[in-house]
Chain A
């Protein structure tokens, strides 16, 4: 059995990083979370712009993301910070996390602690304690089948469909064969390619679900009087040479390789099946990645034709381009040059070996460029305006 060195968690899952998460329950707690994380080595946080004044479905999205982030196996333990009066109440956030994991959890409510400075003080001490506990953990051999790898493409150009997504598809096939779980995401970029995915569904239920999530997405945008094709393909996609959404989608779905599609997950839902699964996420990179990481992805592989800086506070994001000019121009932000797939026909197998090795190395601690440069920005899906 293939193994890699990872961190075993008390809930049975396996992490590739060993972070302590400072989790702001709403936008009103984000500044305090940032202050705490800035004080404590190996503590990570994110700028939560949601968590209050949201309709029920939107609140559920951010609750799922918060719970999923805390449960992500790259996280040793979590310090939740809430303001106190927000809709995402501390007890709700705690319960949602506890449904997913039994890992260490501390909580501080700013209005009860007596303001920013007192909360920062207490939460910082709690975070210090968790970070020190986490530092005692050693990596242990873990089965590769524990790996959940999110796949994403952003700033696509035609080289994405010719090379970078082909390489990610090769990785996806290899991971699935090893018993791991690659996630194909970006529902908006299934449009025009849905029949190809449907033909690979494990059964009728999965097949119907693929069509269902696409229709649901299109209907949702239609219901607010907009067209899903507005802005898609983006100006950058078109400048690169992608003409229609169909062309973009047909390139995009290469990330899912050729294996059977076993399950269709809701946004931020944890997979129940091994092998290739689909998650219903937007084409927007950061919110799509957030959903997969909340669903338990320990690593994200991200292709870009134009070059993208995207990272994430919890999971390493490995970036790949198939455009050799972009690799030169955006080398600081790009980990893998896949352009040889275009210029040296027959190089896919060799590059596939190297790329799988790269993913294992990152799983065992090799830092990605986005991690080294501290790229942290993230986004979460929303249905509608604040209330």
Chain B
């Protein structure tokens, strides 16, 4: 049996991994469904934002909304939650492997 392609855009959106932007100032978003590398992610903003996942992203983990350079602030809840310890491409997983607290960096 042949699976039919989604009939319209809205139905297709239903199958796209979704993400949340917590605060408009943020440069990371939170995946609220599991994301595989190469997936097109729908960030639920007004209007919705679409980007391609550069890596897998575990559900409720963060990914970059734009290219981040080493030393850049990582912003969530509208506040700095840490500093990038490596260059992070847009759409890539943001976590302990590429972010640390500023206070730990200064020690």
Using a CB–CB distance below 8 Å, which chain A residues touch chain B?
Answer: 157-159, 161-162, 192-193, 196, 229, 238, 240-241, 243-247, 250-251, 305, 323, 325, 342-343, 345
What are 11 pairs between A and B in contact, CB < 8 Å?
A: A162-B32, A162-B60, A192-B81, A192-B101, A229-B104, A240-B60, A241-B61, A246-B80, A246-B82, A251-B77, A342-B20
Pick from B44, B59, B81: contact of A247, CB under 8 Å? B81
Task: Return chain A residues, CB-CB under 8 Å to B30.
Answer: 158, 162, 241
Task: Return chain B residues, CB-CB under 8 Å to A241.
Answer: 30, 58-62, 95
Pick from A157, A244, A323, A345: contact of B100, CB under 8 Å? A244
- Cβ distance A180 to chain B, nearest Cβ, rounded Å: 26
In the complex, the answer to whether B62 meets A323 with C-beta atoms within 8 Å is: no
In the complex, the answer to whether A243 meets B81 with C-beta atoms within 8 Å is: yes
Task: Return chain B residues, CB-CB under 8 Å to A250.
Answer: 76-77, 79, 81
Nearest A residue (CB) for B80: A246
CA distance A246 to B79 in the complex (A): 9
Q: Mark B55-89, 1 if CB is under 8 A from A, else 0.
A: 00011111000000000001011011110000000
In the complex, the answer to whether A247 meets B60 with C-beta atoms within 8 Å is: no
Q: At the interface, yes or no: B22 with Cβ under 8 Å from chain A?
A: yes
Q: At the interface, yes or no: B99 with Cβ under 8 Å from chain A?
A: yes
Q: Decide yes or no: A193 and B60 within 8 Å by CB, A162-B20, A245-B101, A342-B32 being known contacts.
A: no
Interface range, B side? 20 to 34
In the complex, the answer to whether B81 meets A158 with C-beta atoms within 8 Å is: no
Q: At the interface, yes or no: B1 with Cβ under 8 Å from chain A?
A: no
Given contact pairs A244-B81, A244-B101, A251-B77, enumerate 13 new A-B contacts (beta carbons under 8 Å).
Answer: A158-B30, A162-B60, A238-B96, A241-B30, A241-B61, A243-B96, A244-B82, A244-B99, A246-B81, A246-B102, A247-B76, A247-B77, A323-B60
Q: Decide yes or no: A246 and B101 within 8 Å by CB, A158-B30, A342-B20 being known contacts.
A: yes
In the complex, the answer to whether A161 meets B99 with C-beta atoms within 8 Å is: no
Task: Return chain A residues, CB-CB under 8 Å to B41.
Answer: none
Task: Return chain A residues, CB-CB under 8 Å to B80.
Answer: 246
Using a CB–CB distance below 8 Å, which chain B residues touch chain A?
Answer: 20, 22, 30, 32, 44, 58-62, 74, 76-77, 79-82, 94-96, 99-104
In the complex, the answer to whether A159 meets B77 with C-beta atoms within 8 Å is: no
Pick from B22, B94, B103: contact of A243, CB under 8 Å? B94
- Cβ distance A89 to chain B, nearest Cβ, rounded Å: 44
Nearest A residue (CB) for B97: A243
CA distance A259 to B22 in the complex (A): 20
Task: Return chain B residues, CB-CB under 8 Å to A342.
Answer: 20, 32
Task: Return chain B residues, CB-CB under 8 Å to A251.
Answer: 77
Pick from B22, B44, B59, B101: contact of A345, CB under 8 Å? B44
CA distance A251 to B62 in the complex (A): 14
Task: Return chain A residues, CB-CB under 8 Å to B99.
Answer: 243-244
Residue in A159, A162, A247 with the greatest tally of chain B CB atoms within 10 Å:
A247
Nearest B residue (CB) for A325: B59
CA distance A211 to B107 in the complex (A): 21
Task: Return chain A residues, CB-CB under 8 Å to B96.
Answer: 238, 243
Complex A-B, nearest 10 residue pairs according to Cβ-Cβ distance, in ascending order: A241-B61, A247-B81, A250-B77, A158-B60, A244-B82, A244-B101, A241-B60, A246-B81, A243-B99, A243-B95
Task: Return chain A residues, CB-CB under 8 Å to B22.
Answer: 161-162
CA distance A323 to B61 in the complex (A): 12
Nearest A residue (CB) for B23: A250
CA distance A247 to B101 in the complex (A): 9
